[in-house]
Amino acid sequence: MIANVSTSDFPEKKLSDLLSQIYQPARIQILLIIGSQETCVCHIETVTGMRQASISQHLMILRKAGLVSTCRKGRHIFYHLTKPEVIEVLQLAANLAGIKPDSFLALSIRPIKDCSCPQCNPNGDPKLTCKKVTQSNS
Ligand SMILES: [Zn+2]
């Protein structure tokens, strides 16, 4: 496991450790998708097209880094950002990288068509949504 944040006293090492937890495109995207809302894995799956197993791995690393946290609501597990200011960091980085604001914001837009999560279907039957989440939750 590489997710342990170092207890080193060197600030540059600490910063490097933190950035190394989020540097992967998938993790950056996951953080942006979660954004300011509680988000279930099936929503992340719909937006990214990634397999749930790899999403869970990324989420575990982000959780160990103290950036995301979970809460359970009924049969669903939702993720939220424990440090929402990480979005500001990513926004500044996006500016540095020359990414257009529209492209940056598009990553966190909801609802997503064809997504079965409760946020994209607020009027749906909660028992019928998030099938993929409850499936892998054994
Ligand atoms: Zn959704």
Rounded mean pLDDT, 60-68: 96
CATH number at residue 77: 1.10.10.10
Has residue 8 been placed in a domain? no
Question: How much distance in Å is there from the Cα of 63 to the middle of ligand 1?
Answer: 21
Question: How much distance in Å is there from the Cα of 12 to the middle of ligand 1?
Answer: 37
The whole domain housing 67 covers: 23-137
Rounded mean pLDDT, 97-121: 89
More confident residue, 110 or 75: 110
Question: How much distance in Å is there from the Cα of 10 to the middle of ligand 1?
Answer: 40
**For residues 60 and 68, what is the distance between their CA atoms, to the nearest angstrom?**
9
Question: How much distance in Å is there from the Cα of 6 to the middle of ligand 1?
Answer: 34
Res 113: pLDDT: 85
pLDDT in tens, 4-39: 554 557 999 999 999 999 999 999 999 999 998 999
Q: Residue 123: CB partners within 8 Å, gap ≥ 6?
A: none
Phi, psi of 127, deg, nearest 5: -75, -20
Rounded mean pLDDT, 64-80: 90
Has residue 7 been placed in a domain? no
